[in-house]
Structure 1
Amino acid sequence: MKKVGITGQNGFVGAHLYNTLGLEPEKFERIDFQKNYFENPDQLDEFVKQCDVIVHLAAMNRHPDAEVIYHQNVDLVKKMVASLERTNSKAHLLFSSSSQEERDNLYGKSKKEGRSLLANWAKEKGGKFTGMIIPNVFGPFGKPNYNSFIATFCHKLTHGENPTVDVDSEVSLIYVGELVQEIIDQIEAGETAELYKVPATTTIKVSAVLEKLKSYKKLYFQNGEIPALTSSFDYQLFNTFRSYFDIATHYPVKFTQNIDPRGAFVEVIRLGIGGQCSFSTTVPGITRGNHFHTRKIERFAVIKGKALIQLRKIDSDEVLEFYLDGTDPAYVDMPIWYTHNIKNIGDEELLTIFWINEPYNPEDADTYFVEV
């Protein structure tokens, strides 16, 4: 087991890495890091002493004054180097640099200088160092107007705004889940690499990304239809888009009932992709679920009985509750990284239809059990 600490563990990439390491507790022990440790040398030293591996992600990406970005980022690295030296650490230090290193700006300069300082520490003190040059990262829960243009587009499209393309350049992208796996692979390899260029997994024009997101808004956000997703990037972008909903107000979504003297007809889901559709009966008082997924798209549709559906983002204490009744059929889609359950709160049998975008595979279930 390796003890892993992450500076910036509450940031965009840091939170995804922290949560993913938690899926394998037999391999990784996560050492907690708090932002204020950089202002308290004793606390920083205590953190460093516990770690076999330190992933240094803490950095400033944007500020009106580029000089502030430069000095802040270099200063954080200097504080880390000082702590490594005070504690005589031999930890494996992984550093997230950027493809901006190749550009003539102060952010890129801060990253390049930080990577050099850490590489020198490793050479002089016998530590291990991996300097990762990372392309543009996107994924769920990124901060709009900060982490990526995709985060900005998604937030605007789901909050009544119309994003525009200022410069229609071709961009190299990596999904945050893919980046996290790259970091974990480097942790497990445990080798020094002063410059490791993380390969982009998608190259696409900004306008093409916006067109895809606009189609997701029309088909899914407004009409509840799962769009055609023909590539890994499509799935990644769609799950990213879904994470920007105001879940508490978006769900449950009422179905359209077509009623005539024979009864009612309700379309549960319209698909541009396949998957697995099933139903369950649940006796009163019983709860199903209490698990989450990291990639799957899933819909719960209550068509008979009364149900309580609960959702909780796994690094949050906030529980969202939705009450559904088969007399007024509705559905709730399960966001990735949200543990969820469904409970029969009525006096009769509960009938629920479940759709998920991929058939269940016990060898790659993408299902992690955590109580809501």
Structure 2
Amino acid sequence: MLKIGITGQAGFVGKHLYTTLALFQEEFERVDFQKEFFEDATKLNDFVSKCDVIVHLAAMNRHNDPQVIYDTNVGLATKLVHALEATNSKAHVIFSSSTQEERDNLYGKSKKEARELLANWAKKSQGNFTGLIIPNVFGPFGHPNYNSVVATFSHKIARNETPTIDVDGDLKLIYVGELVDEILKEIRIGDSKEEVLVPHTSESKVSRILFLLEKYKEQYQNNGIIPELNSRFEVNLFNTFRCYMDIANHFPVKFTQHTDPRGAFVEVIRLNVGGQVSFSTTVPGITRGNHFHTRKIERFAVIKGKALIQLRQIGTQETHDFYLSGDEPAYVDMPVWYTHNIKNVGDEELYTIFWINEFYDPNDPDTYFENV
């Protein structure tokens, strides 16, 4: 079993990699990293000595003074090299650099020099090093005004703010889940490669991204409609946007009931995308679910009985509790990377309708079990 440590474990990419590694517990063991290790050589040496693989993600992306970015990123790589030398480490070091390496800015220069520092360590010590040149990364839980324009736009639009475009350039993009797959591939291969160009998986103008996000806001956030999603990129962008919504105050969304002497009619879902609709009955006291998805879009609609739907983002402790009743039919949607369940908390049978955007595939279920 490989012991893997991630500098920058709490950052955007680091968080996704750390939580994904937990899905492969028979293959990988996670070595915990804390930011303060870089300020204490003893702790950093101890961390390095425990690792078979070190994924060096810790870096500064933005600062008012570009020199601070340069000094920080080169400084972090230098400290890591010192720890590798002090412990005579034979770990496979994987470094995340950027396609900005060749640009005339101090951030790009800092990433290139950091990569070269680690590559030189590997040559001198007969170590194992892989340098990844990575395009623009986007995905859920990125920091607005820091990680990507997608994070900034999604955050603002979800809060009824109006983003502005400074330069309507063409962006070469990779979804954070796809990047994690690339890192896992390099971990499993285990070969030294001083420079690996990670291919982008999508390309879009900034204005196109803004257009799509505003469409998701209007159709989904405002009206509950699942929008048309024409590519894997658009599914990933939509799932990214959903994670910036204030779900605690958005859900549950009550349906509009149309009643007459015959009974009631409720429209459960409007969608411009396919998928699968199911329903379940649940006896009192029983809980279903306790799992999460990394790509699927899912809706739970309670039409009879009383239910408690719970959501918790993986890696956090906060639980969102939503109480629904068939007396006022309502739905809750499941964001990606949120473990969720539904429990019958009433005295009668619970009727629930489920919609998910793709057919169930037992060979690729995208369903990971974890108690809320």
Provide the TM-score with structure 1 as the length reference.
0.99
Distance 1:195 1:314 in 2: 32
Distance 1:257 1:247 in 2: 23
The equivalent residue for 1:167 is: 167
Shift of 1:107: 0.5
The equivalent residue for 1:140 is: 140
Are 2:259 and 1:259 aligned? yes
The equivalent residue for 2:279 is: 279
Distance 1:29 1:76 in 2: 24
Shift of 1:321: 0.2
The equivalent residue for 1:203 is: 203
CA displacement 1:118-148 (0-9 Å, x = unmatched): 0000000011101111000000010000000
Which letter does structure 2 place at the counterpart of 1:177?
G
Distance 1:203 1:234 in 2: 11
Which letter does structure 2 place at the counterpart of 1:263?
G
The equivalent residue for 1:177 is: 177
Distance 1:357 1:171 in 2: 27
Which letter does structure 2 place at the counterpart of 1:38?
F
After superposition, the CA RMSD in angstroms is 0.6
CA displacement 1:179-224 (0-9 Å, x = unmatched): 0000000111111111111011111110011111111111101000
Shift of 1:258: 1.3
Matched position secondary structure for 1:131 = strand
Are 2:81 and 1:81 aligned? yes
Distance 2:337 2:213 in 1: 21
Which letter does structure 2 place at the counterpart of 1:284?
P
Are 2:351 and 1:358 aligned? no
Shift of 1:296: 0.5
Matched position secondary structure for 2:307 = strand
Matched position secondary structure for 2:23 = coil
Distance 2:97 2:360 in 1: 38
The equivalent residue for 2:106 is: 106
Gaps of 5+ in 1: none
The equivalent residue for 1:349 is: 349
The equivalent residue for 2:25 is: 25
The equivalent residue for 2:67 is: 67
CA displacement 1:28-83 (0-9 Å, x = unmatched): 11100000000111111111011000000000000001111110111100000000
Matched position secondary structure for 1:281 = strand
Matched position secondary structure for 2:24 = coil
Matched position secondary structure for 1:64 = coil
The equivalent residue for 1:90 is: 90
Shift of 1:261: 2.0
Distance 1:141 1:196 in 2: 26
Distance 1:281 1:36 in 2: 50
Which letter does structure 1 place at the counterpart of 2:47?
F
Moved over 3 A (4+): none
Shift of 1:260: 1.8
Distance 1:368 1:196 in 2: 31
Shift of 1:12: 0.3
CA displacement 1:247-306 (0-9 Å, x = unmatched): 111100011111222221111001111111011101111100000001000000000000
Matched position secondary structure for 1:302 = strand
Q: Percent identity?
A: 69
CA displacement 1:218-237 (0-9 Å, x = unmatched): 11010001111110101010
The equivalent residue for 1:130 is: 130
How many residues end up aligned between the 2 structures? 372
Matched position secondary structure for 1:22 = helix
CA displacement 1:298-355 (0-9 Å, x = unmatched): 0000000000000011100111100001000100000111100000000000000000
The equivalent residue for 1:46 is: 46
Distance 1:334 1:166 in 2: 33
Distance 1:362 1:101 in 2: 42
Are 2:319 and 1:307 aligned? no
The equivalent residue for 2:15 is: 15
Distance 1:117 1:267 in 2: 60
Distance 1:8 1:35 in 2: 7
Distance 1:298 1:204 in 2: 26
The equivalent residue for 2:370 is: 370
Which letter does structure 2 place at the counterpart of 1:308?
L
Are 2:268 and 1:268 aligned? yes
Which letter does structure 2 place at the counterpart of 1:217?
K
Distance 1:172 1:260 in 2: 54
Distance 2:285 2:244 in 1: 33
Gaps of 5+ in 2: none
Provide the TM-score with structure 2 as the length reference.
0.99
